[in-house]
Amino acid sequence: MHSHTDGTDLLPRDGFIFGEDSSGPLGASPIVQWRTRSGDLLVSASHHGYGYKSVNEDRVALAEVDGEHGPDIALFVVDGMGGRERGDLAAQLLSEELVRVVRPPDADVDAEISHLVKDQIETVLWQLPNRDFVRRILARWRSQWSNENDIDAPGRLIRSALESVNAESLQSGELASGQLRGIAEILRELAEMSSPDITEIALRRTQRRIVTQHPGPGMPDACFVGALIHTEEDGRRTLDVRQIGDCRLFVCSREGNIRFRTIGESVIAEPNLEDPKLPLTDLMAYSLHRNLVRNSINAPKLALKRYRKEDLPMVLERGDRVFLYSDGVDDLFSPEELIEMARNTTPENLVRDLLLHSERRMKYVSGLLRAQREQLPMDLKMKAYPQVHERLNRARVEEGCYVEAYRDGVTGRWTKPPKCDNTSICVMWVG
């Protein structure tokens, strides 16, 4: 992949992944800028943060390809999970596969989609109770496939399965009402089947590579959020979201109004932090357990987060800003705070301000933890974290926000309960 750029170059056609090298202080982390062929500006940063983490388990992955009607763009922020279990490896592998699958043409990707569709169709057909009937359908369906060296299009596979079920039903003579209902249900399920998403292929490939490259105990894991931006036939540009876990994405207008925001897949849902009457118990539950996710790439059932068809895909407008970031940013800033930081400043200065604020806030929390641990005996040092958060959250209840008092006498106020973590962000200014 390419090295750091000054922002005057176009996004490389083979994609760009960064975050592995995050040496130096957080506030001075390099800011990476690219222009797209559609005139957008991409500004990103990725760093291991400040505090207890010295390895960056986050990655930012970017790609631009030639679509049917114009440039298509893919933006991803990937958050590795597992710490000692090599979350950085999972993030790197997933980033590589996400960039690979969005770069057409790729015969390997097409073949994998085809094989996956075949498996899905067979799974559906075997739901029928009559095994002989299923075997006849399968034999008829498989006879319609092309040679093994050819790749069968998913739509063709699904259509031929529907035709095979219908044809075999007609040749089977009179069927019982229960069998007819079962066949109707299978036909409905086949008719509603769609081709697997390319990001799903990337996830499956990542799973296989993790097993190969990390045979030891533990399992590297990751979650991610992605924006897929497509140029339509009429020239409009639409944005769709791919998400697993608690990385965040939101889109705001030129005026700063939020047009869309994702919902994190955390075990503890984010409460309304603007509510002045939010009880301490809810704040503590969220503050301590917010980074426990219900979904990841190694979850037992691989499933991308779904949003309503009325919300996505959405049409982008000139001047929109698309924010993607990991939980290290989400733990410190609300979308409203990020929007306010972006007012009357340049894209590069926005990201620089975010890095500087992040470093200051993480240092503040780390200092509180260090001071608290020094007061506790060895067997109670692990309790420093909840005690510090209780202190901060009690102050939030009394003040209506989180209050920080820095050593230089400056006082700051935040919306989110603070935490030290890896920090990655990508912002797109729509041209």
Q: Which domain holds residue 146?
A: 107-191
DSSP conformation class of 86: T
**Which amino acid, residue 227?**
A
Asked whether residue 61 is assigned to any structural domain, the reply reads yes
Instruction: Please state whether the peptide bond connecting residue 313 to the residue before it is cis, i.e. omega within 30 degrees of 0.
Output: yes
Extract long-range pairs of 177-183: CB within 8 Å, 24+ residues apart.
178/129, 179/129, 179/130, 179/133, 182/127, 182/128, 182/129, 183/128
73 and 139 share a domain? no
* pLDDT for the residue numbered 84: 58
Tokens of 259: 């047009």
69 and 135 share a domain? no
In order along its 431 residues, the chain shows pLDDT tens digits of: 343 444 469 999 889 999 998 889 999 999 999 999 999 999 999 999 988 778 999 999 999 999 889 999 999 999 998 755 789 999 999 999 999 999 876 778 888 888 888 888 999 999 887 888 889 889 888 887 755 545 568 888 888 889 898 888 887 766 666 677 888 888 888 888 877 788 999 999 999 999 888 877 778 999 999 999 999 999 999 999 999 999 999 999 999 999 999 999 999 989 988 888 889 999 999 999 988 899 999 998 888 999 999 999 999 999 999 999 999 999 999 999 999 999 989 999 999 999 999 999 999 999 999 999 998 888 888 889 899 999 899 988 888 888 888 877 788 888 888 888 999 999 999 99
* pLDDT for the residue numbered 175: 62
Q: How far apart are CA 417 and CA 286, in angstroms?
A: 9
64 and 176 share a domain? no
Instruction: Please state whether the peptide bond connecting residue 105 to the residue before it is cis, i.e. omega within 30 degrees of 0.
Output: yes
339 and 384 share a domain? yes
DSSP conformation class of 322: E
Asked whether residue 394 is assigned to any structural domain, the reply reads yes
Q: How far apart are CA 418 and CA 363, in angstroms?
A: 10
229 and 370 share a domain? yes
CATH code for the domain of 29: 3.60.40.10
* pLDDT for the residue numbered 1: 39
143 and 60 share a domain? no
Q: How far apart are CA 19 and CA 48, in angstroms?
A: 8
Describe the crossing of helices 347-374 and 335-342 by its angle, rounded to 10 degrees. Answer: 130
Asked whether residue 270 is assigned to any structural domain, the reply reads yes
Q: How far apart are CA 94 and CA 113, in angstroms?
A: 17
Asked whether residue 204 is assigned to any structural domain, the reply reads no
- 3 state SS of 130: coil
Asked whether residue 214 is assigned to any structural domain, the reply reads no
Phi, psi angle pair for 137, to nearest 5°: -60, -45
| Gyration radius of the chain over CA positions | 25
Cα torsion through 358, 412, 283, 265, rounded to 10:
-30
CA atoms within 13 A on the CB side of 377: 1
Strands 58-66 and 16-18: antiparallel
Domain count, the chain: 2
CA atoms within 13 A on the CB side of 388: 23
Tokens of 88: 């950085």
CA angle, 417 as apex, 48 and 382 as ends, to 5°?
70
269 and 130 share a domain? no
**Which amino acid, residue 335?**
P
Asked whether residue 208 is assigned to any structural domain, the reply reads no
Residue 87 CB contacts under 8 Å (≥ 6 apart), including other chains: 57, 79, 80, 81, 220, 221, 222
- 3 state SS of 85: helix
179 and 42 share a domain? no
Least Cα distance to 359 among 273, 291, 427, 421 occurs for 421
44 and 180 share a domain? no
